[in-house]
Amino acid sequence: MTIVSYYVAQSLDGYIADLSHGVSWLDSIAPNEVVQSFRQPGDTENLFKYEDYLKSVGAIVMGRKTYDFLVQYGSNPYQGIETWVLSESLSAKAPLLPGIQLAPPSMDLKTFVSDLMNRTNKRIWIVGGGDVAAQVLELDLLDEIIVSIAPRTLQAGIPLFRSLNMTSVKNWKLTQTQITENGFVQLCYRK
Ligand SMILES: NC(=O)c1ccc[n+]([C@@H]2O[C@H](COP(=O)([O-])OP(=O)(O)OC[C@H]3O[C@@H](n4cnc5c(N)ncnc54)[C@H](OP(=O)(O)O)[C@@H]3O)[C@@H](O)[C@H]2O)c1
């Protein structure tokens, strides 16, 4: 069954990027040796290992601001995986990074993600950012949240989920955790 998944790294105080949309605060730090872990019985995937996670992905969705970051980076790191960017401001004629497509203008996000779910039995990775992730959560399409918490605070920035000025309580089940020697806590929650 297809899983719609938000796989992301955040600061200890809940931000995925700094106020200028940068992630350089993550450059010099990455999860190292695992010192403690937990997995629900029967859960065989190693979801925290990026390479293994990527192998489970059949389609990728990101917001335009996250795409801008890839443009600065200079290339598409997801070559070979169907990858979509959501935007109302990018022109349909504007050239995008190779392998990345613009979602149809004025598409309905629920229909768009549901169509992707019908086309792959692998994961749909909501890369982010917090704006797109919040909408997918609000539409009740998100099945999985995999978050790596870095042992750093930023004090301000782009939140894990953009606030939509509404409250909707949802319960999540913890299925995997990992703690690394250098202080990362990695968590996988399922709906
Ligand atoms: N730490 C991590 O693991 C991680 C992961 C991903 C991203 N990030 C960071 O997160 C930051 C961006 O996050 P963000 O929350 O500010 O923005 P975002 O979600 O990446 O992008 C928001 C933009 O996406 C477009 N969009 C969103 N919903 C749409 C919809 N339903 N239909 C059409 N277009 C839609 C709009 O673009 P237009 O304005 O063009 O219409 C909107 O301004 C970046 O700095 C990125 O580096 C960090």
> Which tens digits make up the pLDDT trace of 35-66?
999 999 988 899 999 999 999 999 999 999 99
Give the whole-angstrom CA distance, residue 134 versus residue 161: 5
Q: Residue 160 is part of which domain span?
A: 4-190
Length of the chain: 191
Give the whole-angstrom CA distance, residue 99 versus residue 119: 17
Give the distance, in angstroms, between the CA of residue 112 and the centroid of all CA atoms in the same chain.
17
CB 150 within 8 A of CB 185: no
Question: How much of the chain, in percent, has pLDDT values that exceed 70?
Answer: 100
Helix (H, G, I), strand (E, B) or coil at 176: strand
For a mutational test of ligand 1's pocket, the pick from 10, 87, 90, 125, i.e. the residue with the most ligand atoms closer than 8 A to its C-beta, is 87
Residue 109, ligand 1, Cβ within 6 A: yes
Task: Tell the residue number behind the tokens 């297809």, with chain if given.
Answer: 2
Residue 86, ligand 1, Cβ within 6 A: yes
Query: What pLDDT, on the 0 to 100 scale, is given for residue 165?
Result: 80
Which residue, among 61, 81, 86, 72, has the nearest Cα to 20 in the 3D structure?
72
**CATH number of the structural domain spanning residue 53:** 3.40.430.10
Helix (H, G, I), strand (E, B) or coil at 99: coil
User: Which tokens hold the place of 111?
Assistant: 């229909």
Give the predicted TM-score (pTM) of the model.
Answer: 0.96
Give the whole-angstrom CA distance, residue 127 versus residue 14: 16
For a mutational test of ligand 1's pocket, the pick from 16, 107, 127, i.e. the residue with the most ligand atoms closer than 8 A to its C-beta, is 16
> DSSP code of 24?
G
Q: How far is the CA of 65 from the centre of ligand 1 (A)?
A: 4
Count of alpha carbons within 13 angstroms of residue 67, beta-carbon side = 23
Q: What is the mean pLDDT of the chain?
A: 95
Query: What pLDDT, on the 0 to 100 scale, is given for residue 73?
Result: 86
pLDDT surpassing 90 at residue 6 = yes
Residue 159, ligand 1, Cβ within 6 A: no
User: Which tokens hold the place of 177?
Assistant: 């955790």
Backbone angles phi, psi at 175, to 5 degrees: -110, -25
Q: For residue range 120-155, what is the model confidence (pLDDT) as tens digits?
A: 999 999 999 999 999 999 999 999 999 999 999 999
Average pLDDT estimate for 65-81: 94
- 187, β-bridge pairs: 147, 177
Residue 63, ligand 1, Cβ within 6 A: yes
Residue 139, ligand 1, Cβ within 6 A: no
Q: How far is the CA of 87 from the centre of ligand 1 (A)?
A: 9
Average pLDDT estimate for 5-23: 96
Query: What pLDDT, on the 0 to 100 scale, is given for residue 162?
Result: 97
- Using pLDDT thresholds of 50, 70 and 90, give the confidence band for residue 167: confident
- Using pLDDT thresholds of 50, 70 and 90, give the confidence band for residue 93: confident
Residue 17 Cα distances to 27, 61, 125, 146, angstroms: 12, 18, 18, 16
Query: What pLDDT, on the 0 to 100 scale, is given for residue 191?
Result: 95
Residue 66, ligand 1, Cβ within 6 A: yes
Q: How far is the CA of 67 from the centre of ligand 1 (A)?
A: 7
Domain count, the chain: 1
